[in-house]
Amino acid sequence: MIISNLVTSQRNYFQQGLTRSFEQRIKSLSILEQLLESNRTAICDAVHADLGKPHFETLTGEIAGVLNEICHMKKNLRNWMKPQKVKTPLLLWPSKSRIFYEPLGLSLIISPWNYPILLSLSPLVGAIASGCCAILKPSEHAAKVSTILRDLISQSFPTEYVSVVNGGVPETTSLLSQKFDKIFFTGNSQVGQIVMSAAAKNLTPVTLELGGKNPAIICADANLKLAAKRLVWGKFYNSGQTCVCPDYFYVEQSVYEEFLRYVKSEITSQFGESGKVNYNLSRIVNSFHFQRLQNLINKEKIFHGGYVSSELRFIEPTVLRDVSWDDSVMKEEVFGPVLAILPFENFESTLHLLAKKPRSLASYLFSESPEKINFFLENLSFGGGCVNDCVIHLSNSYLPFGGVGTSGIGSYHGFNSFLAFSHAKSIILGSNLMDIRSRYAPYTPQKLKFLLAALKWLNR
């Protein structure tokens, strides 16, 4: 279907009000839930074909994440849809105040290749729950997943309600030239700027989920062995191709050597001996990113790993030690299984240094000190994160997920997904029981005196 015709058909469908009822929203969420549960194996196979991702990671990191969001929505949607009562100032008595949530309308969801199921369907859950129509544009770099998404969605939903458009830059450009009521984009900041610029032409609201260099700060008082275990898992999950994975480790100098040993031990424990392909790790998505990651590996600073296979686009977990901010690996978001570990001397100075960098999507602190934890939370701005853990904040539907500054605009998950695709309409329900005459013209000195006295009394 021609993209402009698809957009028109979806807008017409939305304007008929067919997506708005609670019953329709729940029905559609259940259809999406059944789609995932009935096609787990086929979806896992498609993700593996595109990314070499283990089925376990697709099940836990993608399918389970979407199912969790659907479950959360179905449990809470009825209450969220109700008009929300809010207080009314005494000056407006006896009126009442309410917030009515209405669907924004036609939404465009542009998703990346690294979590092609989760980052396509999790925003879709929010769009459906809010009563919107949606067009999904999956990444062309995950072609098998894009195809299965198109096929499953087209079999489950009318195209004028939910549809998938596949293709590359030309199709995305064509979509962005259309007028939408909401654009939800997940990807890098460079493309995010293009999306936001296109949205501005129609004053379309956007949610941008971007990325950045996420630090993990390990203090001397941390449980070093457990910190290494959790950070190695978080860093190399999906071969580091995760927007919230720790990009680099900043380790207090007094425990630097000890922590390096723990990291090496954990890599060996979780992924086996160095120097060979490991099928518990995803492959690098394409040759461009494979070569880019190879260029970030300074062979003189390799502490562990370094084995690569260009034929399989495989890079084993590779650790670089004694890295500085002048190294190429610190100049850009790594987004792969290459880990830089830096030493630091002073905790507060390090936090002040990081505060001057572009704000990251996630940050992590490992420490047992309440003072350091508070200093971290109060002095470093970032999208979200963990203390004494990593990555798992992403899986809590009660927490808003999103960036700040260059790492993103807006948030979603749970109620925040509902808000992302809704308009909060503010309404005063007036009363005919009484009418305050002093608000009407003519504005006499007596009315002004009364008004000033009333305001003084109300603000006492």
Enzyme catalytic residues: 209, 243
| The one-letter amino acid at 98 | R
Beta carbons within 8 Å of 162's beta carbon, 6+ residues apart: 28, 124, 128, 133, 134, 135, 136, 153, 156
Alpha carbon 129 to chain centroid, angstroms: 18
Please state, as a whole number, how many other Cβ atoms lie within 10 Å of the Cβ of residue 82: 13
Q: What is the dihedral of CA 409, 412, 418, 424, to 10 degrees?
A: -30
Measured in Å, how far apart are the chain's first and last C-alpha atoms? Answer: 64
Among 422, 416, 415, 412, smallest CA distance to 102 is for 422
Among 268, 267, 272, 279, smallest CA distance to 234 is for 267
At 446, list the tokens.
């007596």
Among 211, 213, 289, 212, smallest CA distance to 248 is for 213
263 Rama sector, left if φ>0, alpha if ψ -120 to 50, beta otherwise? alpha
| DSSP bridge partners of 98 | 85, 427
Among 185, 179, 218, smallest CA distance to 200 is for 179
Q: How far apart are CA 177 and CA 186, in angstroms?
A: 18
C-beta of residue 249 within 8 angstroms of C-beta of residue 390: no
At 34, list the tokens.
């059944």
